[in-house]
């Protein structure tokens, strides 16, 4: 596919960036010449995020918009995000471990064009500590979800889920590692389909 025809993707992170790396690897033209998307920016709200150097090492523009100077003024922080996104010509956003809550106004501007990955089988366990909560609840299975972002936190149409059974002896760390591996499979699959206009949910099972 020609570079001009590809959807331009920005990936927003706050930390390690392992999902970002999986997404970048999947869009590498050497790996998938027909991929319908291309990364144009990796953006972090934390200048210390390890993912920034990983993106730069892959030749993808990487930028921090530190949220701290904007404390108390989310709209100004998001205006700075929007300026960077516009400068990069981003058409789609993938939230990949981006740990700031976005305002309804920002979400409305990107509605239908912004995806998120969440470490649980939504609608179960919205919010934080999802692996602990799945264990505490005695759930039989756990996993991750990619969904479109809407104004409600960890809500919005589900585009894909990957499931793993909860096993005797599982701990939050063991579950987190298993779910992380599933995330790295699921998010690239969903993005590839979404960028091509296919919103049919993808369902994966741990193997
Ligand atoms: C991922 O497990 C992602 O699902 C989670 O943060 C981690 C980021 O890891 N996101 C959330 O909890 C969002 N509410 P990564 O930086 O290695 O991709």
11 is in an annotated binding site: no
CATH among 1.10.3720.10, 3.40.50.12500, 3.40.50.170, 3.50.50.100 for 1-110: 3.40.50.170
Q: For the chain, percent helix, then strand, then coil, each to nearest 5?
A: 35, 25, 40
Prediction pTM value = 0.97
* Domain range summary for the chain, segments of one domain joined by +: 1-110, 117-207
Rounded Cα distance, 192 and 171, in Å:
32
The answer to whether 160 and 201 are in contact (CB under 8 A) is: yes
Residue 118: active-site member: yes
Task: Examine the pLDDT at 186 and tell me if it is beyond 90.
Answer: yes
Per-residue pLDDT reduced to its tens digit, 97-153: 999 999 999 999 999 999 999 999 999 999 999 999 999 999 999 999 999 999 999
Ligand 1 center to residue 96 CA distance, Å? Answer: 6
Any atom of ligand 1 within 6 Å of the Cβ of 181: no
Q: What is the mean pLDDT of the chain?
A: 97
Task: Examine the pLDDT at 68 and tell me if it is beyond 90.
Answer: yes
Ligand 1 center to residue 124 CA distance, Å? Answer: 16
Rounded Cα distance, 158 and 136, in Å:
24
Q: Which helix (H) or strand (E) holds 92?
A: strand 92-95
Per-residue pLDDT reduced to its tens digit, 145-180: 999 999 999 999 999 999 999 999 999 999 999 999
Structure tokens at 106: 């920002």
Q: What is the pLDDT of residue 141?
A: 98
Q: What is the pLDDT of residue 204?
A: 97
Any atom of ligand 1 within 6 Å of the Cβ of 14: no
Structure tokens at 194: 């979404």
- The partner residues of 204 in beta bridges, in order of sequence, read 162
């Amino acid at each position: 596919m020609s570079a001009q025809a590809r959807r331009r993707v920005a990936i927003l992170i706050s930390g390690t960036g392992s999902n970002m790396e999986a997404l970048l690897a999947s869009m590498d033209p050497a790996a998938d010449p027909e991929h319908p998307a291309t990364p144009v920016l990796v953006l972090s709200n934390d200048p210390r995020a390890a993912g920034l150097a990983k993106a730069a090492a892959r030749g993808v523009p990487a930028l921090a918009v530190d949220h701290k100077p904007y404390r108390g003024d989310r709209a100004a922080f998001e205006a700075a995000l929007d300026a960077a996104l516009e400068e990069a010509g981003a058409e789609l956003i993938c939230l990949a471990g981006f740990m700031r809550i976005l305002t309804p106004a920002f979400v409305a501007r990107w509605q239908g064009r912004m995806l998120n990955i969440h470490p649980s089988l939504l609608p179960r366990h919205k919010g934080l500590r999802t692996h602990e909560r799945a264990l505490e609840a005695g759930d039989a299975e756990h996993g991750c979800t990619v969904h479109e972002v809407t104004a409600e936190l960890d809500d919005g149409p589900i585009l894909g889920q990957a499931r793993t059974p909860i096993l005797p002896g599982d701990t939050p760390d063991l579950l987190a590692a298993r779910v992380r591996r599933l995330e790295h499979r699921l998010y690239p699959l969903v993005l590839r389909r979404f960028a091509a206009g296919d919103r049919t949910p993808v369902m994966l099972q741990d193997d």
